[in-house]
């Protein structure tokens, strides 16, 4: 079984939370029993999360050796120059080493997304832009660290696709079974 889930902002990619006060988890969305997240999506990120009851499938989806592309829509603070976009494409130096080259482009117009709760803080004096960034590796908070490294701090991060699977019209908290 493979499930596409639109993980809302500020939801953990696990079914339990031992912190106090407890945070929202996957348990609150009526998902089938015995499925687990294939990979993770940070608490403060949104979008496509794949869940499965098949450990081999989870491995194929998430192991870096399989290099499944993951595409993120990223709202950044500032307007990206051609040089900053090229730096993302070439790979940037992070504190844990250089990243692999990525696909990066300006999204114009901005993607039509649901309202986030709470909303991203709007500042009249600071422009923002949306990027599409596709990675074939998955380090901890990698997209946020990459955009920060080129001077474009991330304001909002939404995973749009993972391998051949896309978010499509799923709204936050909704899920669907995927054939195959």
> Could you tell me the residue ranges of all domains in the chain?
1-66+165-180, 69-162
Q: Mean pLDDT across the stretch 8-25?
A: 94
The reported pLDDT for the residue numbered 79 is 93
Band the pLDDT of 68: cuts 50, 70, 90: confident
Q: Is 53 a catalytic residue?
A: no
Band the pLDDT of 26: cuts 50, 70, 90: very high
Band the pLDDT of 170: cuts 50, 70, 90: very high
Catalytically annotated residue among 42, 53, 54, 128: 42
**Is the fold of 1-66+165-180 the same as that of 69-162?**
yes
Hey, which CATH number is domain 69-162, 3.30.70.1560, 3.40.605.10, 3.40.50.300, 3.40.30.10?
3.30.70.1560
The reported pLDDT for the residue numbered 29 is 97
Hey, which CATH number is domain 1-66+165-180, 3.30.300.30, 1.10.730.10, 3.30.70.20, 3.30.70.580?
3.30.70.580
pLDDT per residue as tens digits for the range 36-63: 999 889 999 999 999 999 988 888 888 7
pLDDT-above-90 percentage for the chain: 81
Band the pLDDT of 131: cuts 50, 70, 90: very high
Which residues is 144 bridged to in the sheet?
none
Residue 69 CB partners (closer than 8 Å, separation 6+): 134, 135, 136, 161, 162, 163
Could you give the C-alpha distances from 116 to 81, 113, 140, 158, 162, in angstroms and in order?
Answer: 27, 9, 23, 11, 21
The reported pLDDT for the residue numbered 180 is 53
The H-or-E segment that residue 76 falls in is: strand 70-77
Could you give the C-alpha distances from 94 to 21, 141, 169, in angstroms and in order?
Answer: 33, 11, 34
Query: Is the pLDDT reported for residue 65 higher than 80?
Result: no
C-beta separation of 72 from 157 below 8 A: yes
């Amino acid at each position: 079984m493979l499930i596409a889930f639109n993980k809302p902002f500020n939801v953990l990619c696990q079914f339990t939370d031992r912190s106090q006060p407890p945070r929202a988890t996957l348990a609150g969305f009526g998902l089938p029993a015995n499925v687990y997240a294939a990979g993770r999506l940070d608490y403060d990120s949104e979008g496509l999360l794949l869940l499965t009851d098949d450990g081999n499938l989870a491995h194929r989806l998430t192991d870096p050796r399989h290099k499944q592309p993951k595409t993120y829509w990223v709202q950044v603070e500032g307007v990206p120059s051609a040089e900053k976009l090229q730096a993302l494409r070439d790979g940037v130096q992070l504190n844990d080493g250089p990243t692999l080259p990525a696909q990066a482009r300006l999204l114009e117009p901005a993607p039509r997304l649901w309202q986030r709760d709470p909303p991203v803080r709007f500042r009249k004096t600071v422009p923002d832009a949306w990027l599409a960034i596709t990675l074939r590796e998955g380090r901890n908070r990698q997209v946020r660290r990459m955009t920060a490294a080129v001077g474009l701090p991330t304001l909002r991060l939404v995973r749009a696709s993972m391998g051949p699977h896309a978010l499509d019209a799923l709204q936050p908290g909704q899920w669907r079974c995927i054939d195959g």
